[in-house]
């Protein structure tokens, strides 16, 4: 069977316009390099939005994918399977968690987390304890419940009415949290670093205060680590870096390294509220996805690999500072590990997307986080040489944007 030839133009013809992809079509990748239909080469600082944690076509992932493909792909949760059991054990061994629920995305992991938080309070206190506190600019996914808990109004607009009982507070504001939390609060939900919201780090004091206040009011602390988890920040999960343990943690993105999977991790104390029949997913925990995520966990959760994430960050920061010394275009570098956000100086606010397109023209795949922040979330094992070459491309892209704005 010959395949139909397709181009970027076909996207506008047949795809719902909720995305506006860059003007090229990538066709293959290896490590932190990607090639498009015309065989142009790109260095990948985007990492599929903090997903391809081991780069593209990692040999151990490919080998496991092929091996599992020959064994069994899917069973449904009427039956359990070996890869899911092994992966769950590894996640429990590596974290605070006693129990794991598998699904297929970050949104689904958060949906499970928020439902569990409500159900746990319903079971243990009563239906009035259902309020969820979350934070401005936060992002938790695109289902109706997760856009409602998320702190970006634009993602809710036009989709109302949304679920009730959700409050959004300023992030990193301990006093606001103290004033808002009550006996009616069932959960406080936060990202240790707000990814989509602009790569904004939580203050350690804020996270500690959230833990104390949750304990005081019998609320569950939920960490959305969909973007910060699975080694991204240089520890296996960011909560370990903050030294504050949540009751529920969600993971996806890097956990699958490119295969769709999500996980909700929790304690024995909470897990009982998702008792038989209360929640589920057809694909969740399928053997194919779990087998590959197991490879990702094995490869990433090693001291040497996590330490190298810190060293690679240092290379990025050094390079970004050198660019800034020449062009005075960055206000601040944020994030942890290989979740890197650079806020542009005031003059360039609203124009981050210009740099994305210019980077693509230079052969660099990058991200933004809102209209004023450039974001990088590459493979956790990106070669140092690719970092250097990618930063040179970034500098060329910045120069081209500056020149075209001046002319």
Ligand X SMILES: *Cc1c(COP(=O)(O)O)cnc(C)c1O
**Does 209 participate in binding ligand X (rule CB under 6 A)?**
no
User: Which CB, 95 or 105, lies closer to ligand X?
Assistant: 105
User: Which CB, 36 or 44, lies closer to ligand X?
Assistant: 44
Tell which one of 226, 255, 293, 391 touches ligand X (CB under 6 A): 226
Tell which one of 32, 64, 110, 362 touches ligand X (CB under 6 A): 110
Token readout for 187 is: 């959960």
User: Which CB, 31 or 198, lies closer to ligand X?
Assistant: 198
Judged by DSSP in three states, 157 sits in coil
Scanning 219-227, 269-277, 313-321, 325-333 for contacts with ligand X by CB under 6 A, the matching segment is 219-227
User: Which CB, 198 or 363, lies closer to ligand X?
Assistant: 198
Token readout for 75 is: 């069973």
- Give the separation between CA 226 and CA 250, rounded to whole angstroms: 6
Scanning 88-96, 100-108, 160-168, 213-221 for contacts with ligand X by CB under 6 A, the matching segment is 100-108
**Does 111 participate in binding ligand X (rule CB under 6 A)?**
no
Tell which one of 111, 224, 247, 294 touches ligand X (CB under 6 A): 224
Q: Which residue is nearest to ligand X (CB)?
A: 106
DSSP for 70-89, please give it.
HH-----TTS--HHHHHHHH
Which helix H or strand E contains 307, and what residues bound it?
helix 303-327
**Does 222 participate in binding ligand X (rule CB under 6 A)?**
no
Scanning 113-121, 137-145, 176-184, 378-386 for contacts with ligand X by CB under 6 A, the matching segment is 137-145
User: Which CB, 289 or 401, lies closer to ligand X?
Assistant: 289
User: How far is residue 396 CA from its own chain's centroid?
Assistant: 28
**Does 227 participate in binding ligand X (rule CB under 6 A)?**
yes
**Does 202 participate in binding ligand X (rule CB under 6 A)?**
no
**Helix, strand, coil shares, percent, the chain, to 5:** 45, 20, 40
User: Which CB, 106 or 151, lies closer to ligand X?
Assistant: 106
Minimum distance from CB of 140 to ligand X (Å)? Answer: 5
Closest by CA to 221, choosing from 201, 195, 200, 250, is 250
Q: How many residues bind ligand X (CB under 6 A)?
A: 15
Residues 6+ apart with CB under 8 A from 173: 206
Minimum distance from CB of 92 to ligand X (Å)? Answer: 22
**Does 106 participate in binding ligand X (rule CB under 6 A)?**
yes
User: How far is residue 328 CA from its own chain's centroid?
Assistant: 29
Minimum distance from CB of 197 to ligand X (Å)? Answer: 9
- Give the separation between CA 53 and CA 377, rounded to whole angstroms: 9
- Give the separation between CA 44 and CA 161, rounded to whole angstroms: 39
- For residue 235, the 8-state DSSP code is S
Identify the bridge partners of residue 30 per DSSP, sorted by sequence position.
Answer: 33
Minimum distance from CB of 325 to ligand X (Å)? Answer: 31
Q: Are 263 and 297 in contact (CB under 8 A)?
A: no
Tell which one of 141, 229, 284, 378 touches ligand X (CB under 6 A): 141
Token readout for 157 is: 């607009």
Give yes or no for a cis peptide into 161 (omega within 30° of 0): yes
Scanning 190-198, 290-298, 336-344, 366-374 for contacts with ligand X by CB under 6 A, the matching segment is 190-198
**Does 196 participate in binding ligand X (rule CB under 6 A)?**
yes
Residues 6+ apart with CB under 8 A from 39: none
Scanning 8-16, 20-28, 188-196, 367-375 for contacts with ligand X by CB under 6 A, the matching segment is 188-196
Minimum distance from CB of 63 to ligand X (Å)? Answer: 25
Tell which one of 32, 64, 95, 105 touches ligand X (CB under 6 A): 105
Residue pointed to by tokens 């151990």: 60
- Give the separation between CA 221 and CA 283, rounded to whole angstroms: 27
Tell which one of 52, 81, 107, 301 touches ligand X (CB under 6 A): 107
Beta-carbon-side half-sphere exposure of residue 75 (alpha carbons within 13 Å)? 17
Residues 6+ apart with CB under 8 A from 286: 73, 74, 75, 81, 84
- Give the separation between CA 244 and CA 134, rounded to whole angstroms: 17
Tell which one of 36, 111, 131, 191 touches ligand X (CB under 6 A): 191
Binding site for ligand X (CB under 6 A): 105-107, 110, 139-141, 191, 195-196, 224, 226-227, 252-253
């Amino acid at each position: 069977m010959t395949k139909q030839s397709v181009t970027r133009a076909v996207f506008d013809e047949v795809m719902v316009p909720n995305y506006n992809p860059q003007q090229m079509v990538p066709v293959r990748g290896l490590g932190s390099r990607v090639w498009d239909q015309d065989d142009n080469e790109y260095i990948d600082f985007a990492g599929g939005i903090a997903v391809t944690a081991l780069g593209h076509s990692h040999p151990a992932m490919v080998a496991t994918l092929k091996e599992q493909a020959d064994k069994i792909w899917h069973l449904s949760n009427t039956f359990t399977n070996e890869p899911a059991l092994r992966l769950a054990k590894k996640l429990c061994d590596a974290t605070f968690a006693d129990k794991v629920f598998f699904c297929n995305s970050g949104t689904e992991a958060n949906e499970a987390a928020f439902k569990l938080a409500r159900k746990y309070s319903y079971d243990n206190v009563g239906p009035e304890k259902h309020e969820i506190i979350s934070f401005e600019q936060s992002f938790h996914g695109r289902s109706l419940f997760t856009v409602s808990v998320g702190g970006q109004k634009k993602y809710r607009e036009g989709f109302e009415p949304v679920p009730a009982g959700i409050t959004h507070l300023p992030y990193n504001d301990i006093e606001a949290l103290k004033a808002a939390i009550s006996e009616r609060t069932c959960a406080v939900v936060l990202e240790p670093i707000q990814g989509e919201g602009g790569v904004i780090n939580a203050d350690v004091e804020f996270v500690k205060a959230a833990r104390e206040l949750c304990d005081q009011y019998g609320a569950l602390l939920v960490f959305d680590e969909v973007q910060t988890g699975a080694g991204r920040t240089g520890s296996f999960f960011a909560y370990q870096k903050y030294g504050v343990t949540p009751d529920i943690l969600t993971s996806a993105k890097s956990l699958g390294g490119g295969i769709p999977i999500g996980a909700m991790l929790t304690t024995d104390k909470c897990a009982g509220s998702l008792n038989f029949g209360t929640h589920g997913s057809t694909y969740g925990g399928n053997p194919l996805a779990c087998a590959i995520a197991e490879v990702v966990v094995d490869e990433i959760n090693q001291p040497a690999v996590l330490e190298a994430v810190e060293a690679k960050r240092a290379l990025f920061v050094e390079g970004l500072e050198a660019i800034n010394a020449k062009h005075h275009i960055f206000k601040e570098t944020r994030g942890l590990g290989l979740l890197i956000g650079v806020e542009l100086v005031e003059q360039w606010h609203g124009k981050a997307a210009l740099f994305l397109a210019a980077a693509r023209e230079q052969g660099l795949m990058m991200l933004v986080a809102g209209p004023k922040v450039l974001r990088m979330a590459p493979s956790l094992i990106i070669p140092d040489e690719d970092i250097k070459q990618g930063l040179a491309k970034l500098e060329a892209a910045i120069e081209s944007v500056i020149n075209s704005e001046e002319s």
